[in-house]
């Protein structure tokens, strides 16, 4: 309890959702690693635990373990697997947060994971070669990470990032290269579930970016559900202090606000030309005065 209270709990209470996601993944990994020690005494706890948090492809098992479509995206057993996923999540998550909100990040992480699980389940129940392999459940945050990578890559395709040995390269090329590797990897059948989940997450990230550029946020409904759950879990005995803070504007929100303000000023100026300054209301005079100070 001391380790949790002094080190883990303060991090989880921070507003940085990206760090929270990483900490949750690491804690689950460490817990499974501790359970794995029981194998020294011929007690297999880990495999049993994983079966109840990894998403299965078999429909009958999935129906009895429906929660696994959510839990699997926080589960890793291999050190290199979680290291690579968390590094990618951190690097591209930071870029994502430069253009979108923390709520968008958490919701897209979940939706990307769900998309990966959906494509995995569909493929392993319809493709002949994969049907014979559908007794192996799937774990990992890769689909969620791919959704975040593709979202920011197709929202800002000309953004350049620095890569070791390769130098500066457009983020869109990184996303396409990752997708190509997964697509090519399907033929080897060495890890078809992982490759298919990656593709599912990538498709969801692409859809998110394209819809956002059209002014539609496909994570909005999930944001509301998460807010509702969080509010229900808050202690009811003590009313939480309300803190107002200014949310960081996205490019789309900024452009919409400035456009609206500009149109309003143009309307006021047209009114002055037609009827004179005295025809303005007190609110219109204030808006014109505030605009003149900018």
Q: How confident is the model at residue 237 (pLDDT cuts 50, 70, 90)?
A: very low
DSSP one-letter code for 5: I
* Residue 118 · residue 144 · CB < 8 Å: no
**CA nearest neighbour of 178 among 91, 240, 117:** 91
Q: Is residue 240 part of a domain?
A: no
What confidence score (pLDDT) does residue 233 get? 77
* 84: exposed, middle or buried (Cβ count in 10 Å: 0-12, 13-18, 19+): middle
**Mean pLDDT confidence for 206-211:** 97
- At 293 the pLDDT is 64
Does any domain span residue 140?
A: yes
The CATH number of whichever domain residue 157 belongs to comes to 1.20.1540.10
Amino acid 274: pLDDT: 75
Residue ranges making up the domain that contains 134: 2-233
Distance CA 39, CA 49 (A): 13
What per-residue confidence (pLDDT) applies to 28? 96
270 and 178 in a common domain: no
Sign of CA dihedral 120, 121, 123, 127: positive
Task: Please indicate, yes or no, if residue 238 is contained in any of the structural domains.
Answer: no
Residue 138 counted as domain residue: yes
Q: Domain count for the chain, please give it.
A: 2
Q: Could you tell me the pLDDT band of residue 7, with boundaries at 50, 70 and 90? A: low
Is residue 159 a part of any domain in this protein? yes
Mean pLDDT of the chain: 86
Same domain, 90 and 215: yes
Mean pLDDT is highest, among 131-135, 155-159, 223-227, for: 155-159
Q: Check residue 212 and give its pLDDT.
A: 96
- pLDDT band for 294, please (50, 70, 90 cuts): low
**Quick one: tokens of 247?**
């949310």
Q: Which residue has the tokens 């800002």?
A: 156
Cα–Cα distance, 217 to 246 (Å, whole number): 19
pTM: 0.75
pLDDT at 125 over 70: yes
Asked whether residue 155 is domain-assigned, the answer is yes
Reduced to 3 states, what is the DSSP secondary structure of residue 167? strand
In a domain, residue 243? The reply is: no
What is the predicted pLDDT for the residue at 240? 52
Cβ partners under 8 Å of residue 131, min gap 6: 124, 125
> For residue 88, what is the enclosing H or E element?
helix 79-96
Q: Is residue 87 part of a domain?
A: yes
């Amino acid at each position: 309890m001391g380790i949790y209270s002094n080190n883990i709990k303060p991090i989880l209470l921070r507003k940085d959702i990206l760090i929270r996601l990483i900490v949750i993944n690491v804690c689950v990994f460490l817990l499974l690693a501790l359970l794995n020690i029981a194998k020294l005494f011929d007690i297999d706890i880990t495999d049993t635990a994983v079966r109840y948090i990894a998403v299965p492809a078999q429909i009958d098992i999935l129906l009895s373990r429906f929660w696994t479509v959510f839990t699997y995206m926080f589960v890793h057993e291999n050190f290199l697997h979680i290291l690579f996923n968390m590094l990618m999540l951190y690097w591209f998550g930071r870029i994502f947060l430069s253009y979108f909100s923390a709520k968008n990040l958490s919701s897209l992480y979940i939706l990307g994971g769900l998309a990966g699980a959906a494509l995995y389940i569909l493929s392993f129940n319809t493709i002949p070669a994969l049907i014979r392999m559908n007794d192996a459940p799937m774990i990992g945050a890769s689909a969620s990470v791919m959704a975040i990578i593709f979202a920011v890559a197709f929202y800002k395709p000309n953004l350049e990032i620095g890569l070791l040995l390769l130098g500066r390269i457009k983020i869109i090329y990184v996303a396409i290269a990752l997708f190509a590797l997964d697509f090519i990897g399907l033929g080897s059948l060495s890890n078809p579930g992982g490759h298919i989940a990656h593709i599912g997450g990538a498709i969801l990230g692409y859809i998110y970016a394209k819809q956002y550029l059209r002014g539609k946020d496909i994570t909005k409904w999930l944001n509301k559900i998460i807010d509702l759950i969080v509010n229900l879990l808050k202690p009811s005995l003590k009313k939480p202090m309300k803190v107002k803070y200014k949310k960081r504007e996205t490019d789309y929100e900024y452009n919409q606000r400035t456009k609206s303000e500009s149109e309003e000023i143009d309307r006021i100026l047209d009114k002055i030309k037609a009827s004179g300054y005295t025809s303005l209301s007190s609110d219109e005079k204030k808006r014109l005065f505030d605009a003149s100070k900018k």
